[in-house]
Amino acid sequence: MTAIEVLAVASEIYPLIKTGGLADVAGALPGALRPHGVKVRTLVPGYPAVRRALKRPQPVHAWDDLFGGPAQLLEGMAARLSLFVLDAPHLFDRPGGPYADAQGRDWGDNAQRFAALARVGADLGQGLAGGYAPALVHAHDWQAGLACAYLHYGGHPRPATVMTVHNLAFQGQFDRRLLASLGLPPSSFSPDGVEYYGSIGYLKAGLRLADWITTVSPTYAAEICTPEGGMGLDGLLRGRADRLSGILNGVDLNVWNPAADPLIDTPFDAEHLDLRGLNKAALQTRFGLDPDPDALLLGLVSRLSWQKGVDLLLGALPVLLAEGAQLAVLGSGEANLEAGVAAAAAAHPGRVGCVFGYDEALAHGVQAGADALLVPSRFEPCGLTQLCALRYGAVPLVARVGGLGDTVIDASPMAIAAGAATGVQFSPVNTPMLESALRRTAGLYADRTAWRRIQANGMASDVSWRTPARLYADLFRSLIAEPAG
């Protein structure tokens, strides 16, 4: 097996900078692919947190003017990741989030920021860094989408390209008048190129022009080809269905290991599930919930957004409470949803608790202490929290959409009889169906032996990167072997 070099282009990477699952994947894939003979180096923006973490940076290239200011490309290691860092202070050295300011307003120059990232990704793919010649460029989400366009229109022999969609809802659409300033030829502004409903579509460009498209679960790969799930891109995706596949995400078992997790109160494993009770008690204390060891404690760790079905959960709250359950919400996001959760906590002290913000350690605490983890998403490309929940013996209660449907085995009578059940699913995704799933979960929880079986099945599920990494490696090899496109 000859080793292959892959350049990943990603706008976030765990543990340096993260707003969602994309960062987890970009952070975990390089390590997971290494045993398969795939060497991944990742190009990321030089946000302050990334610059700070980069060890012994070596300059690779410099620009006097890259989309409005001087920039340099650095290479080095950070958190055991082999990185190229685009150090462009006018684009990336600012407080706030990667895409928006502290008030949640998108940065006004996102078009230039992520065109710069993609442009440099494409240049690296074509030998910008001396002897480095990746055989494949792996673009993650809209922020990297234009890399496929720059390579396509570059007019040179190019590496193979893969566009991975982590969430089709984020598409990166910008004014057509920017075309020339982005360095794209006039001919690229066509339905077969970067044009998207009269604008420039960064994700669209990647989906149209990459050699292959992946998304993060087989079911989501099918859903995005339908008008209901395609978010305007289903026609294009149907046309490329023979070049589209779904590969599930895994979780990093070193980060998510309940038997040796420094972020939780009491480590435990499947043979010592009793110890979870201590984590449950700690969680109840942290969220101001009644210290009741028998109450069904439901957790939610999520961006608070329409996608995640938080409003559906608030609608189902009376049923949740009537079943005697407690609810612990960790999340941040839309103001009206935060207000709704806060109001529920105020109205039901001891039964509903919330912590707003992004708190990695507490996310581990919720997984380790909650009896069940809620994921009532309207759509979910893969979902990571249910994978962590399986690993931590928190029974996932999920909407049957996207990767949630692919990773959780519903506790139907047949699945229970077969000893296969790992969680609870509901469909269609609405409040009444969530209510009935909550009732079903409470019923299962009341039978402690059956519940333990479901927990143990979940903990035995393979949620690692092992299989997904093999699938990516096989895909990369097959594309590299194809004649240049």
| Dihedrals phi, psi of 208, to nearest 5 degrees | -75, -40
Write down the least CB distance from residue 331 to ligand ADP, Å: 5
Is 303 near ligand ADP (CB under 6 A)?
yes
Q: In this structure, which long-range contacts are made by residues 69-78, counting pairs with CB atoms below 8 Å and at least 24 apart in sequence?
A: 71/116, 73/120, 73/124, 73/128, 73/129, 74/46, 75/41, 75/129, 78/16, 78/50, 78/53, 78/54
Which part of the chain contacts ligand ADP (CB under 6 A), choosing from 138-146, 280-288, 296-304, 422-430?
Answer: 296-304
Nearer to ligand ADP, 194 or 301 (CB): 301
In order, the DSSP letters of 414-482 are: HHHHTT---BEEESS-SHHHHHHHHHHHHHHHHSHHHHHHHHHHHHHS--SSHHHHHHHHHHHHHHHHS
C-alpha to C-alpha distance for 73 and 129, rounded to whole angstroms: 9
Nearer to ligand ADP, 125 or 396 (CB): 396
Is 219 near ligand ADP (CB under 6 A)?
no
Nearer to ligand ADP, 18 or 61 (CB): 18
Q: Quick one: which of 384, 397, 421, 454 contacts ligand ADP (CB under 6 A)?
A: 384
DSSP 107: P
Write down the least CB distance from residue 70 to ligand ADP, Å: 33
Which part of the chain contacts ligand ADP (CB under 6 A), choosing from 115-123, 257-265, 381-389, 429-437?
Answer: 381-389
Omega before 59 cis (within 30°)? no
Write down the least CB distance from residue 304 to ligand ADP, Å: 8
C-alpha to C-alpha distance for 90 and 480, rounded to whole angstroms: 36
Nearer to ligand ADP, 24 or 371 (CB): 24
C-alpha to C-alpha distance for 392 and 256, rounded to whole angstroms: 8
Q: Quick one: which of 85, 117, 165, 330 contacts ligand ADP (CB under 6 A)?
A: 330
Which part of the chain contacts ligand ADP (CB under 6 A), choosing from 139-147, 152-160, 205-213, 383-391?
Answer: 383-391
CA angle 41, 43, 49 (to 5 degrees): 110
Write down the least CB distance from residue 23 to ligand ADP, Å: 8
Nearer to ligand ADP, 161 or 167 (CB): 167
Note whether 407 and 251 are within 8 A (CB). no
Is 206 near ligand ADP (CB under 6 A)?
no
Which part of the chain contacts ligand ADP (CB under 6 A), choosing from 57-65, 278-286, 379-387, 464-472?
Answer: 379-387
x/- mask, ligand ADP, residues 159-188, rule CB under 6 A, reads: --------x---------------------
Which part of the chain contacts ligand ADP (CB under 6 A), choosing from 66-74, 108-116, 127-135, 357-365?
Answer: 357-365
Tokens of 378: 């309207």
Q: Quick one: which of 134, 159, 229, 383 contacts ligand ADP (CB under 6 A)?
A: 383
Nearer to ligand ADP, 363 or 469 (CB): 363
Nearer to ligand ADP, 34 or 303 (CB): 303
Note whether 121 and 127 are within 8 A (CB). no
DSSP 289: B
Spatial neighbors of 62 by CB under 8 A, at least 6 apart, are: 70, 71, 72, 73
Nearer to ligand ADP, 27 or 206 (CB): 27
Is 192 near ligand ADP (CB under 6 A)?
no
Write down the least CB distance from residue 185 to ligand ADP, Å: 34
End-to-end CA distance of the chain: 24
Strand, helix or coil for residue 83? strand
CA angle 179, 224, 307 (to 5 degrees): 90
Name which of 38, 341, 11, 240 is nearest 147 in CA terms: 11
Q: How does strand 71-78 pair with strand 81-87? A: antiparallel
Is 359 near ligand ADP (CB under 6 A)?
yes
Give the burial string for 63-80 (b: 16+ CB within 10 Å, else e): beebbeeebbbbbbebee
Write down the least CB distance from residue 341 to ligand ADP, Å: 12
Span 331-350, contacts to ligand ADP by CB under 6 A: 331-332
Write down the least CB distance from residue 251 to ligand ADP, Å: 8
Span 22-61, contacts to ligand ADP by CB under 6 A: 24
Q: Can you list the positions of beta strands (E) in 153-277?
A: 160-165, 173-174, 195-196, 199-201, 212-215, 244-246
In the complex, residue closest to ligand ADP by CB = 21
Span 445-474, contacts to ligand ADP by CB under 6 A: none
Q: Quick one: which of 48, 106, 185, 358 contacts ligand ADP (CB under 6 A)?
A: 358
Is 20 near ligand ADP (CB under 6 A)?
yes
Is 396 near ligand ADP (CB under 6 A)?
no
Is 5 near ligand ADP (CB under 6 A)?
no
Q: Can you list the positions of beta strands (E) in 166-211?
A: 173-174, 195-196, 199-201
Q: How many residues make contact with ligand ADP (CB under 6 A)?
A: 18
Note whether 122 and 184 are within 8 A (CB). no
Give contact residues for ligand ADP (rule: CB under 6 A): 20-21, 24, 167, 301-303, 330-332, 358-360, 363, 382-385
